[in-house]
Chains A and B, each alone.
Chain A
Amino acid sequence: MRFWGRRRALVCRQAVALMAGYLDGALSDGDRARLEVHLAECPHCHEYLAQLRATIRAAGQVQPDVLSDEALDELVTLYRRWTTG
């Protein structure tokens, strides 16, 4: 068991589990430091975190559907009724 000598070091599974908290800046100082040590040593987890960041960027660029004029008119007509009724 190679981790016995460094009980507080993270394995990859634990590192990945901490990433959402890390990206939110919500980890304790200890967890953040352990994760950063792991990321510096583990190219796979380093890559995985970079891919999560790219995924978040892509999600942030999802364009909303264009609202049709008919749908807008329908809601504005309802608005007129709601505000006058």
Chain B
Amino acid sequence: MALACAVVSDDGEIVARLQAGDEEAFAALVRQYQASLLRLAGAIVVSSAVAEEVVQETWLAVVRGVERFEGRSSLKTWLFRILANRARTTLGRELRSASLPLDEVTEHFDRAGAWVSPPVPWSDQADDRIVAERLAAKVRDVLPTLPDAQRQVVVLRDVEGLSAADVASVLGLSDGNQRVLLHRARARLRQQLETDVARI
């Protein structure tokens, strides 16, 4: 199955093949997006078992709905939109302990709005490719510790590379809320990376 390892890059082609019932095209799509879908599902629902169910339901919805895919968004955005809708529906059924995120502010300012403890300059090596890979590994470890709403936004924006407008639409957020959540998530990630950068 050589095609199973290929990265699917042409939405129109993959959609046509899926509509024709092409199993290898489906396998290639699963390989490309399964982990990403699981990561987003895990940021919306509570248990990993439920997240897996939601992802499986998403694939079924994709197979059944591919005839209606019109290409108004990218295939990737369409997948995430289906997943977010499924996960939110599931969440409505799932008994979820109240877990309003603590609104932690990771930047600290005095009453005049000046830095109390300014950011410690990062080494120039933070731009180095090897170091960047280490930082990416750290981001991956820290992501699950972010409050859910922040995690959903930063995963879609910065890990998956969706546009601000697509993320707001997939998650049902206003542009302003999307940006506030994104900023908080990035601030938290930056703070966590700081300790690693200091050891470089």
Chain B count of residues within 8 A CB distance of the other chain: 53
Q: Distance (Å) between the CB of B57 and the closest chain A CB?
A: 11
Chain A count of residues within 8 A CB distance of the other chain: 42
Q: Distance (Å) between the CB of B51 and the closest chain A CB?
A: 13
Chain A, interface SS category: helix
Q: Distance (Å) between the CB of A56 and the closest chain B CB?
A: 5
Considering the chains assembled together, what is the distance between the CA atoms of A16 and B119 in angstroms? 12
Considering the chains assembled together, what is the distance between the CA atoms of A83 and B114 in angstroms? 61
Q: Distance (Å) between the CB of B69 and the closest chain A CB?
A: 16
Q: Which residues of B contact A63 (CB under 8 A)?
A: 136, 140
B63 at interface by CB-CB < 8 Å: yes
Q: Distance (Å) between the CB of A61 and the closest chain B CB?
A: 4
Contact A11-B112, Cβ < 8 Å, known A59-B154, A72-B31, A75-B56: yes
Which B residues have a C-beta under 8 Å from some C-beta of A? 4, 21, 23, 26-27, 30-31, 34-36, 38-39, 56, 59-60, 63-64, 107, 109, 112-115, 118-119, 121-122, 126-127, 132-133, 135-136, 138-140, 143, 154, 158-159, 161, 164, 175, 179-180, 182-183, 186-187, 189-190, 193-194
Please, could you name 5 A-B residue pairs with CB atoms under 8 Å apart, sorted by A? A60-B159, A63-B136, A67-B31, A75-B26, A80-B23
Which A residues have a C-beta under 8 Å from some C-beta of B? 3, 11-14, 16-17, 19-21, 24, 26, 44-45, 47-48, 50-52, 54-67, 71-72, 75-76, 78-80, 82-83
